[in-house]
Amino acid sequence: MNPLFEALWYILPAYFANASPVIFKGKTPMDFGKEFIDGKRLLGDGKTWRGFFGGLLTGIFISIIQYHITPNFYGSFAVALKLGFALSLGALIGDLIGSFVKRRVGMERGYPAVGLDQWGFLIAALIFAYPIKTLSTGQVLFLLAVTPFIHWFANVFAYKMGWKSVPW
Ligand code: CTP
Ligand code: MG
Ligand code: K
């Protein structure tokens, strides 16, 4: 496999885990409406339990499909599954950390935080997946470079589909 394509193939569950909650979006917010000591919401209404678990299951489902297409890339089904779980969980937790930071600096739910929105989930996914399977430094740099464009494209697509009210 081409190393750049390999990097994209590796990270795919994280992309799906990050993008799919917009389809699953639920009602109950993960912070249950609670505020932090600064009087602002802990995470905000944009982070729901349904979105979180929908994203987690979608990412794992993608890794199962990936294993059946490229079993040699993973070596075993267990590795593919563990990697899909770690990448998805990392992406979702990275997104929650991003929302926590956004609320602390006074950004309303849905406000675009350039950098945080595009790299937060990616970096957390890479850290969570690191113990299971690693990429080269060049591959990580490649993902850091292309992910903002893919993130932008995916959000415009979701907006055009009517899934979200803003194209970011
Ligand atoms: N979403 C969800 N649960 C999650 C993550 C996302 O339900 N754990 C849904 C919400 O409807 C959210 C949408 O997906 O509005 C888009 O996600 P995102 O852009 O990450 O959330 P924002 O609304 O921009 O909120 P924030 O400012 O906190 O990032
Ligand atoms: Mg957003
Ligand atoms: K986000």
Per residue in 107-160, pLDDT (tens digit) is 999 999 999 999 999 999 999 999 999 999 999 999 999 999 999 999 999 999
Residue 93 lies in a domain: yes
The pocket of ion ligand 3, defined by CB under 5 A, consists of 95, 117
Is the residue at 151 inside a domain?
A: yes
Nearest to 168 by CA among 103, 125, 109: 109
pLDDT tens digits, residue range 75-111?
999 999 999 999 999 999 999 999 999 999 999 999 9
Query: What confidence tens digit (pLDDT) does each residue in 24-33 have?
Result: 989 999 999 9
ipTM, two decimals, is 0.99
Residue 125: name the closest of 6, 43, 9, 12 by CA. Answer: 12
Alpha carbons within 13 angstroms on the beta-carbon side of residue 11 total 30
Is 127:90 a contact under the CB 8 Å cutoff? yes
Q: Is residue 168 part of a domain?
A: no
Ligand minimally distant from the alpha carbon of residue 163: 1
Atom 4 of ligand 1, nearest CA residue: 47
Q: Whose CA is nearest to atom 2 of ligand 1?
A: 51
Based on the structure, what is the number of domains in the chain? 1
